[in-house]
Amino acid sequence: MPGPRFPLAIPSDSDFPLSNIPFGIFTTDENTTPRTGTAVGTLILDLALVEKHGLLGGLAGSTSFFSHATLNAFAAQPAAVRTAVRARIIELLQDGSSALFADAALNAVAFVQQSRAVMHLPMTIGDFSDFMCAEVHVTNCSKMDNAPGAPPNFFAMPTAYNGRASSVIVSGTPVRRPRGMLRMTGSPPSFAFVPTARIDYELEMGIFISQPVPFGTTISSADAAREHIFGLVMLNDWTARDVQFTEKTPLGPFNGKGSGTTISPWVVTLDALAGAEVAGTDAHALANMATRPPYLRHDAPAHTWNIRVTAALQRDAWPGGPVDVSASNLSALYWTPAQMVAYHASSGCGLRTGDLLGTGTISSPEPAEGAGPGVYSLGCLHELSKAGTQAFKLANGEEIIFVEDGDEVLLRGQVVRADGSTIGFGECRGRIEPVI
């Protein structure tokens, strides 16, 4: 069967125009070997085949990286090599005389419909750390915990916890409702190992590390830290709030956040985000930038990205598909992704290719531009339900508090450039299954 003709038919609302070229790992029924592809419209271009046929023109010398089961080998290449490879892929797709279209045998096998592919975790993830970098989110959570507002240390450094990579999962993988140790009512205090009653989503983005930071070394500035970012994904750090708040004193999150962290399968590179760079919108962060120590300071005026992020919820009994709940923007964070990377490395711990950092819940003062009625600026149900004390209403008239068994949460991200063109991150989807 012949493959697609030139030019490729890319839907106008696709997350994956030629200006995107994200990288992911896929298999098919016909070829169960995990390999690298890029999403183009509704298709996947098999980059392992492109590489095998010599179409990359020796841009990485004799190195082969697209036949691996993860993106780590490619992500570890110097930024200039990754940029050149991406540009070459775009060139091949824009040229009707390239082998992708002129070679009938290659054309027939180089493209796969996304609907026929199985996506896998894009990277071998050695470590996962999750930050808490939205001033609105930290302020709301602090007040619900009987504090007057965000603690002073939040404004001095991007705070985080060391998570676990074992339960980072790719979009579409179900998450089982966990059991955890919960404090029972009554006195004296008692605890029981029971199913969580308060499963929450967290609307986040994930940051994948490219070239490593060797152990014992640090990063000189937040601007320099961008050189260690391979790309971004959508990320949902599922949280059992009742378990989290039972165990958090005195050490912080542990099993309450251990049951699953869902990420989207396509890594969108910083090259694809060129043109979307902006200054952050948190006025306090901008005012304090000049007072930061050098390793946490951005001198570049555009130091984060204008990425609209949304969370939607689908409940089996609801007709009409997922209902939007949250809409915010990456640029609303007090601390930028690059500042998170620089701070993480500041202890000398080192960072490795494939390490994953979460931004923390992206909440903002106002819903993202384009959000409809009944959509909120807060990126988790803990905030929206005021720590589970009251239900809130969605645009479809339904009221919710936390995620129920059978619910599916869908996160998405989109860049809208000044010329009106868009790119997206694909789906970050997860369904909660009943406890065993």
Catalytic residues: 137
Burial class (CB in 10 A: 0-12, 13-18, 19+), 397: exposed
Nearest by Cα to 379 from 436, 320, 333, 318? 333
Return the structure tokens found at 2.
């012949």
What does the alpha-carbon distance between residue 132 and residue 145 come to, in Å, rounded to a whole number? 15
What does the alpha-carbon distance between residue 206 and residue 170 come to, in Å, rounded to a whole number? 12
Strands 428-433 and 175-176: parallel
- 387 conformational bin, left if phi > 0, alpha if psi -120 to 50, beta if neither: left
Burial class (CB in 10 A: 0-12, 13-18, 19+), 316: exposed
CA dihedral 51, 56, 58, 59 (to 10 degrees): -120
Phi, then psi, of 32 in degrees rounded to 5: -90, 10
Cβ-contact 252, 246 below 8 angstroms? no
CA dihedral 229, 230, 231, 235 (to 10 degrees): -80
Q: How far is CA 40 from the centre of its chain?
A: 19
Nearest by Cα to 361 from 375, 381, 389? 381
Q: How far is CA 60 from the centre of its chain?
A: 27
Q: How far is CA 338 from the centre of its chain?
A: 14
Cβ-contact 239, 256 below 8 angstroms? yes
Return the structure tokens found at 19.
């200006």
